[in-house]
Chains A and B, each alone.
Chain A
């Protein structure tokens, strides 16, 4: 097994505009990137630059129009069980308890009951929601629900985690606590993650590297290596004086504040 967990080689994605015209839209173009074992890499860019499209191709839910995606050196041609994703929506199933939700992927993978139970116990505890194992999702706060979603994502022991703005719907303080727990959990488990976010501080605080994408058609225009110690402790990292310059650099790359807000 090599050190590269996830790799995009010259990946392009086009699709037909469904609204009337039927013209071809190039969502992402010529994206090449790789994520090493145990690395956390953030992907930032303007809205609609194709970040989520990249994740869909990495998970095998959507095909590339050109180029290839590899997970553990195997080309992704269909859904890949070594990849697990987590979205802004928790996607918890309302009719299942938190434990049953955490076991959802394991159940589909056909694991025996005892093994499922052992793993869900483990991840419920690590994600600090063991006390709510028998609750239904509607009984939990947004932050707790995202913890459950994280436990479900990790329970199948994926090699690569795809995180698509998982904390963007949470309030600022809950968000910081969950970032802290996520960072520690990823570090302890030695997991590899590709993290999409709009939050520049979040991107810097949580990652080893930050990749910046351009507007559509999305290309990677810059790679920033975050040279701040303690990736497993974003709370401390946030206080580091180097955060400011990194965020400033990202702001200028993304032209934040340079133009009027686009009409929606």
Chain B
């Protein structure tokens, strides 16, 4: 569509899609998305179509833009496109890959007909990872498909091996990234996939019926997982908590059968909904000693469907003083949260599918203070 600029730092976007009044540009070099309104889209079109600054200024003057303003617009666009093409490098420190450490604790988890064995090298890692899978703990048994994880710490880094093969290492203060990688490896094992097969792993919870899935997004602390637990208490199936994988092949979201993590602020409310709440696995290993409890999912890979289409996203915001409401909003409104809080595959073919997927989304904003109202609104959304 656009001419390629000769300046290497000013590459044209690989893809451009329009959703309602917004235009989304994707830059291949940086795997960054630029979302703009129509007027800026028009100017960006002019920027890429013209061969140099002089012809851009001439074109602007033809559209009754003053020369002075055209200069500043050009300079802004130049800076913007340069920034859109530039992403911060993540320089992971190179370390010597060690031999697999002897585990302190070994646990096996049964996930349908597959099993995952995790060899924990430290008690801290076991306390951190085990609670979310405790509901799937099984006594040692042979399964058709068993995947063995070794996770251990050497000096300042945690190392992850899968089936004795080195996968990644992370600094000890990046345990949320280690956990994300373990989650990825688990879905790869469960569904016989590789990272390149996934279009995205969203920082989102997802609920479903037997026809469709609805994704729940929101900033940290907005109550995504707590809302999922509330919905599950009403009988709604939680397909995934905190980590929702989207497969490229069929553009469907897949079950991630972990426990639902709820933080201490929600404990009293959830005790009313879950009579056995005090019995659920507790993670007290956080350095601030803020406990997290993991509610076992009511459905698993045996009793629930493994994947479903997802065309609805709810941006959730818990506000105890607000009047609960659910309103339809534009897709552009949720993109900032959806994109910046999630891993999106940088593969060109997957990005094209992702942009196609978001074109058909129906998005809603739920502000809630009332659990019953939230449950009612979700039941209305299913099938609507």
Real binding pair: no
Residues of chain A touching chain B, judged by Cβ–Cβ distance below 8 Å, are: none
Residues of chain B touching chain A, judged by Cβ–Cβ distance below 8 Å, are: none
